[in-house]
Amino acid sequence: MEKAIRRYAPIFIIPTFAAFAIGFIVPFLMGLWLSLCDFTTVTDAKYVGFSNYVKALTDPVFRHAFWFTAAFAVVSLAVINVIAFAIAMALTRKLRGTNLFRTVFFMPNLIGGIVLGYIWQLIFNGILAHFNAALALSEKYGFWGLVILVAWQQIGYMMIIYIAGLQAIPGELNEAAAIDGASGWQKLWKVTLPMMMPAITICTFLSITNGFKLFDQNLSLTAGEPAQMSEMLALNIYNTFYSRVGWEGVGQAKAVIFFLLVVAIGLVQLKVTRSKEVQQ
Measure the CA–CA gap between 1 and 137, rounded to whole angstroms.
66
- Least Å distance between CB 176 and another protein? 25
Closer residue to another protein (CB): 23 or 170: 23
Q: What is the nearest approach in angstroms of another protein to the Cβ of residue 110?
A: 5
In the complex, least distance from residue 181 CB atom to another protein, rounded to whole angstroms: 25
- In the bound state with another protein, the residue whose beta carbon lies nearer, of 34 and 191, is 34
Which CB atom, from 168 or from 176, has the smaller least distance to another protein?
168
Report residue 173: phi and psi, to 5°.
-60, -50
CA 42/CA 34 separation, integer angstroms: 8
Residue with smaller CB distance to another protein, 100 or 137 = 100
Distance between CA atoms of 34 and 45, rounded to whole angstroms? 7
Which residues, in sequence order, are CB contacts of 47 under 8 Å at separation 6+?
36, 37
Q: What is the DSSP string of 100-146?
A: HHHHHHHGGGGS-HHHHHHHHHHHHHHHHHTTT--GGG-HHHHHHHH
What's the CA gap between 161 and 80, in Å, rounded?
Answer: 12
Nearer to another protein by C-beta: 67 or 118?
118
Least distance from another protein to the Cβ atom of residue 180, Å: 26
Fill in the amino acid letter for 174: N
User: Smallest distance from the beta carbon of 83 to another protein, in angstroms?
Assistant: 10
